[in-house]
Structure 1
């Protein structure tokens, strides 16, 4: 009798006890939001729980028909994951986890992994709210990861589930944002300062890099820059590709006016230490509350180089621009002075990508063993908290990997679904430490099936780059650490006789780029000795060499078995699976992990109730 009563008590308390931790129930506020179409018809809110690996979406569409939200790939909508729902004229709701068999045909998943939290329709909107695991055991469900996610949204004008391409939209979003701007402190004494070009006539060229040198704010004591955002002038088309702000060493002699950053006057390429940057698709970024860019002390830069990359592919005449970067700074000092370390492949034509490549990997090595020597003073351990990834149009994926004593330590950051049109500064889930002597490797993945000639490293959007910017503290004087392969070795491996780097680069044009030669070139670039170039804010350059280490892939974690449907045996992937957390009720998708026994017994006077009941039973 006692055991039965205890079991009933535990069951009752499990259902009644409040969930300990973040709970995204049917009425919880969702922190993130985005319109998914240009006409602002489709509005998405979302939030997630990293511990339980559950993400919640709320889709609101201006329609009285069905609505759908899911995920797709870069290349095809066939196989896309789509959750659909709506409200029938009689008030009944329908809701289903489906996938696209081809570009247009929907089919219900065998495992229903999306759990409905609410579905309503009024005179204006249909609103659907549901949750799902980051990674279910259903192969028809796309994983929610820290990569760029291509969100697929669709709707109908009535309740007939049929895809219409005019009402189907795809938008790239970084869903697992770690820090929300509202969680950060915005000082009351904030001062705003704009670093911008003024009425610059954009040349009628495909690519222009415009540079000018501007003073930072003059302050009588130390301040910290804690936020930046792009200041963009709207034109008929997007012409600004990226904006970078480089800190100048105080001994630099700087030119005046505006000129080509990398043209005839080499003075306009001075200053190479990036302090803030924006690229296509990015928005504002506020640093964590304990870091900032120091200005106002004798050690801080007084001038910056503002670089704006324009892409005027339609060669439009008479377009003037006054874009730039807006910075926010405060006298309310943070704990750490931050810096930016630029990694990747040194940007010049020795970096090449063959045409017609389904896949081609490039590598840039950084060796930190000389950081202290070139820095001039001891370099404390670097604490990395954020990053910005950058390639051009052929880029498909990037990652930065850390090695210590010859052993792979961790992947610092990556994006296996990189989108050129969504380049933004992202926070790491946890801060990562880089010690003197560590090696850092950047790998960039390209695809050039749409090209019939070589793509070389360079500034134009149709050239390529392979760069990762690490945001870290405490600041040191190292601005960049990048590598490139010995092109002479690569040429020899491809059967070309060359005697210097220039000949090696030109010899790439003589190669017949068959799939076999593409793979041979990739292997040669990986096995060639890497030339590593380290630069400081004062333009001091140190060269060293190294070899590309192997990258060990990180296995995926276990998938989450659905609590809303069956899991077929073939759906249980080799990485394993785990049961879904117990639902609190049939209408709620809030999840429950193991509640402590003490919480069950002591909550709401349960212990006293139990003792009294047991005494009666005895």
Structure 2
């Protein structure tokens, strides 16, 4: 009992301090913000320093109780980390780096890697600001990466630190968004043009692809489209899954009206070069200041195909929709005309994912050696500045990898924590150069533990896709470059006798799917010869073949060294550490309701030492 009382006393000494003011004081502006719950009770601001690898959060909650913010896993909060704080009734503050032992139980980390920058409470809000490294050396702290991050926020109605699932929320956020819209130029002469389907009666089917052909703005001289955003109606549920705008070749003969994009009339699937795209969870996107979509010259498309994917899973009747894309364009020209290159696995049933798979990898190869021949003119080096990732419900991760002369150069883009409900156009930290002759490989990671039958590649949301759209300049005529495995080889490796691709697709249904056969299928799909399909804006198609190269994983970055706590085995060498960087905030300007940081760290270190001593003597 004496030991318990001593621990409690030391904890209060270390983390509770007399109030030194009621304001956060003069603190740097945090550029990004988001509500984290449906009722808009929890508001998060954040910013980061890519060089120092430190992120700063400010959590504001409508409560007089404790608040918490952290990072958690895809399927469970158990093991998630949570930085918690509260202003106690006597004006002192509590602040601690903790983790969830189970859904309801928090436990303090062996080390404290979050730095308190401010903690206040007024008549409406409790506000907590703190910083933490992207990656600490504490195994209880989940990494902040360039992937989708599942942000966990929780709060209480009083200062009793107890988890309540009704006041805990998880939201997927792309935290390390390197370009903020406020940093971009907003032309004063901006013109708005809407591309939309009006009063469309959504069929009562699970999946509908509605397409129509619309003219681009008629202008007397060259203009640049510099921004786009979705135009969506509120249906009280997510009905619109994605919207794509495809450029049409000026020699194309286009149908009129609205019809199924991939139905009986093949004319409604014409035009395959994506200009812009939006998917569920995305918002508006503005191109970099030196890039735009060219319109108004003889070389530019005059018509587009607008494709809207509806997911009416509840088969609701009588739903009318007016949705589309709003484009902003200007006569103030940018330096470069942009294009979009579609990569991945060709979307049709040769692409399959077995049922009950904990993990299954699919690959789509692109060989650029024929780009110049198909373009009809020399192809300058492609400068990639952004990307959009796309799978359906079983997708868990994607990446695009670049090779030159048989050697892996880099991972162009990736998301190891992909969320179907957060698909947005993202900027790269720096431009990536692709030269003619390079190979580009897309790898998609799927999980189908909740499915009892095969999942095939296809347009429906319950089918699958494996696509990455690269935004680049200068524009060329290549619209897509995608691959798929030789299904005859795959079927043979799975013990099925087939003589053509159709038989191969049918034979996959005969396989008894076990963990062993799933791995065998994955290996066969990777080792099979890839059929590569390249397509231009004028629907010219060229085929080639290739083999899937190996992917060398990108090593994890160094963790930030701090005193105490358990060190991961991979971090034991000096190369695994880096010096703790300065936080984004100016500690001299922040007025904190807490002890100075040095006192906090001393108290926390003393607590860790005492706890270890008592455990040794127990």
TM-score w.r.t. the length of structure 1 is 0.90
| Counterpart contact for 1:139–1:571, Cα < 8 Å | no
Deviation at 1:571, TM superposition (A): 6.8
Equivalences for residues 189-338 of structure 1 within 5 A: 189-338=189-338
Deviation at 1:179, TM superposition (A): 0.4
Measured against aligned partners, the alpha-carbon deviations of 1:327-364 in whole angstroms (never above 9, x if no partner) come to: 00000000000000000000000000000000000000
Change (3 A) 1:589 1:162: farther
Which residue number in structure 1 is paired with residue 347 of structure 2? 347
**Cα distance in structure 2, aligned partners of 1:68 and 1:169:** 10
Equivalences for residues 112-131 of structure 1 within 5 A: 112-131=112-131
| Counterpart contact for 2:194–2:327, Cα < 8 Å | yes
| Counterpart contact for 2:137–2:567, Cα < 8 Å | no
**Cα distance in structure 2, aligned partners of 1:156 and 1:211:** 49
Change (3 A) 1:455 1:395: same
Change (3 A) 1:307 1:277: same
| Counterpart contact for 1:117–1:588, Cα < 8 Å | no
Equivalences for residues 6-21 of structure 1 within 5 A: none
**Cα distance in structure 2, aligned partners of 1:581 and 1:442:** 35
Equivalences for residues 537-556 of structure 1 within 5 A: 537-556=537-556
**Cα distance in structure 2, aligned partners of 1:491 and 1:589:** 67
| Counterpart contact for 1:198–1:321, Cα < 8 Å | yes
Which residue number in structure 1 is paired with residue 566 of structure 2? 568
Deviation at 1:76, TM superposition (A): 1.2
Change (3 A) 1:113 1:469: same
Deviation at 1:568, TM superposition (A): 3.1
**Cα distance in structure 2, aligned partners of 1:206 and 1:583:** 49
| Counterpart contact for 1:115–1:589, Cα < 8 Å | no
| Counterpart contact for 2:54–2:584, Cα < 8 Å | no
SS at match of 1:421: coil
Deviation at 1:104, TM superposition (A): 1.4
**Cα distance in structure 2, aligned partners of 1:569 and 1:151:** 24
| Counterpart contact for 2:149–2:175, Cα < 8 Å | yes
SS at match of 2:525: helix
Which residue number in structure 2 is paired with residue 143 of structure 1? 143
**Cα distance in structure 2, aligned partners of 1:446 and 1:339:** 29
**Cα distance in structure 1, aligned partners of 2:282 and 2:360:** 26
Deviation at 1:102, TM superposition (A): 1.3
**Cα distance in structure 1, aligned partners of 2:340 and 2:554:** 26
**Cα distance in structure 2, aligned partners of 1:572 and 1:123:** 47
Deviation at 1:567, TM superposition (A): 3.4
**Cα distance in structure 2, aligned partners of 1:102 and 1:59:** 23
Aligned residue pairs total 565
Which residue number in structure 2 is paired with residue 173 of structure 1? 173
Q: Which moved more, 1:459-468 or 1:95-104?
A: 95-104
**Cα distance in structure 1, aligned partners of 2:570 and 2:299:** 57
Change (3 A) 1:586 1:44: closer
Measured against aligned partners, the alpha-carbon deviations of 1:94-118 in whole angstroms (never above 9, x if no partner) come to: 0000000111110000110000000
Which residue number in structure 2 is paired with residue 162 of structure 1? 162
Which residue number in structure 2 is paired with residue 616 of structure 1? none
Which residue number in structure 1 is paired with residue 376 of structure 2? 376
**Cα distance in structure 1, aligned partners of 2:29 and 2:188:** 27
Which residue number in structure 2 is paired with residue 8 of structure 1? none
Which residue number in structure 2 is paired with residue 557 of structure 1? 557
**Cα distance in structure 2, aligned partners of 1:585 and 1:442:** 39
| Counterpart contact for 1:116–1:587, Cα < 8 Å | no
Q: Which moved more, 1:578-587 or 1:219-228?
A: 578-587
Measured against aligned partners, the alpha-carbon deviations of 1:27-86 in whole angstroms (never above 9, x if no partner) come to: 111000000011000000000011111100000000000000000010111100100001
Deviation at 1:573, TM superposition (A): 2.1
Which residue number in structure 2 is paired with residue 402 of structure 1? 402
Deviation at 1:579, TM superposition (A): 2.7
**Cα distance in structure 2, aligned partners of 1:438 and 1:466:** 20
**Cα distance in structure 1, aligned partners of 2:31 and 2:285:** 16
SS at match of 2:571: coil
Which residue number in structure 1 is paired with residue 45 of structure 2? 45
SS at match of 1:568: coil
Deviation at 1:587, TM superposition (A): 5.4
**Cα distance in structure 2, aligned partners of 1:548 and 1:508:** 21
| Counterpart contact for 1:26–1:118, Cα < 8 Å | no
Calculate the aligned-residue CA RMSD, in Å: 1.6
Equivalences for residues 473-492 of structure 1 within 5 A: 473-492=473-492
SS at match of 1:101: strand
**Cα distance in structure 1, aligned partners of 2:104 and 2:111:** 21
Structure 1: segments with no counterpart, 5+ residues = 1-23, 591-618
SS at match of 1:369: helix
**Cα distance in structure 2, aligned partners of 1:84 and 1:68:** 4
Matched, 1:429 2:429: yes
Change (3 A) 1:139 1:569: closer
| Counterpart contact for 1:363–1:443, Cα < 8 Å | yes
Structure 2: segments with no counterpart, 5+ residues = 1-23, 591-618
Deviation at 1:298, TM superposition (A): 0.2
| Counterpart contact for 1:137–1:571, Cα < 8 Å | no
Deviation at 1:578, TM superposition (A): 1.9
Which residue number in structure 1 is paired with residue 614 of structure 2? none
Greater relative contact order (CA < 8 Å, ≥ 6 in sequence) = 2
Measured against aligned partners, the alpha-carbon deviations of 1:458-509 in whole angstroms (never above 9, x if no partner) come to: 0000000000000000000000000000000000000000011011001111
SS at match of 2:509: helix
Measured against aligned partners, the alpha-carbon deviations of 1:291-345 in whole angstroms (never above 9, x if no partner) come to: 0000000000000000000000110000000100000000000000000000000
Which residue number in structure 1 is paired with residue 598 of structure 2? none
**Cα distance in structure 2, aligned partners of 1:105 and 1:589:** 36
Change (3 A) 1:572 1:273: closer
Change (3 A) 1:496 1:43: same
Matched, 1:413 2:402: no
Change (3 A) 1:384 1:69: same
SS at match of 2:211: strand
